[in-house]
């Protein structure tokens, strides 16, 4: 299967990133448990820290290595909505449900700037802002690391052949 035919549809892009997405969803699940059980240590483990490792160990063995940069970047950007946004939606909805107000859920803004409720409050803003930020920032983060760890080494390898 050629690069062009393999990447024509969104479903093949999903097939290219599903291993990385599974690793990041597992990471997000562990982070949610840490947020509940040990909030002081939860910041050390998350999808942003694990993205490069997931791409390095899972992504380099899959179809991402055979894609053009534009298609690889599109597939990697899908990790933002699929992994970062879904993880933030579950985490911040859980925080609202269980009344968590520690760490990144601190309503006074002691957590990350994109992950805390603004002073005027509102449940939609508390959950919606991190979900939107996860889609955009997480997608850009994934494209950066996919380019650095998958596309550039693959291009160098193809150029050497």
pLDDT tens digits along 71-100: 889 989 999 998 888 888 888 888 888 887
Range of the domain at 90: 19-160
φ, ψ at 7 (rounded to 5°): -110, 20
Is residue 3 assigned to a domain?
Answer: no
Q: pTM for this one?
A: 0.76
Q: Region 97-118: what's the mean pLDDT? A: 62
Does the pLDDT value for residue 121 go beyond 60? no
Q: Which pair of tokens denotes residue 9?
A: 């549809």
Residue 32 lies in a domain: yes
Q: What is the pLDDT of residues 17-48, one digit of tens each?
A: 888 899 999 998 988 888 888 777 777 788 88
Cα 126 to Cα 104: distance, rounded to the nearest angstrom: 11
How far apart, in whole angstroms, are the C-alpha atoms of residue 155 and residue 161?
10
Residue 143's pLDDT is 94
Secondary structure of residue 26 in the 3-state scheme: helix
Question: Is there a domain that residue 9 lies in?
Answer: no
Q: Is residue 76 part of a domain?
A: yes
Shortest CA distance to 60 belongs to which of 159, 156, 153, 157? 153
Is residue 128 assigned to a domain?
yes
**Structural domain count of the chain:** 1
């Amino acid at each position: 299967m050629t690069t062009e035919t393999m990447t024509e549809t969104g479903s093949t892009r999903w097939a290219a990133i599903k291993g990385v997405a599974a690793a990041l969803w597992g990471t997000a699940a562990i982070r949610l448990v840490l947020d509940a059980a040990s909030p002081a240590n939860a910041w050390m483990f998350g999808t942003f820290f694990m993205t490069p490792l997931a791409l390095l160990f899972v992504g380099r063995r899959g179809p991402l290595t055979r894609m053009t940069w534009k298609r690889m970047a599109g597939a990697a950007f899908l990790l933002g909505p699929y992994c970062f946004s879904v993880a933030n939606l579950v985490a911040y909805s859980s925080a609202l449900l269980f009344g968590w107000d520690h760490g990144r859920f601190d309503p006074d803004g002691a957590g990350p700037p994109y992950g805390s409720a603004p002073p005027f409050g509102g449940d939609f803003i508390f959950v919606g802002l991190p979900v939107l930020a996860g889609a955009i920032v997480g997608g850009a983060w994934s494209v950066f690391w996919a380019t650095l760890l998958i596309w550039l080494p693959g291009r160098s390898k193809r150029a050497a052949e």
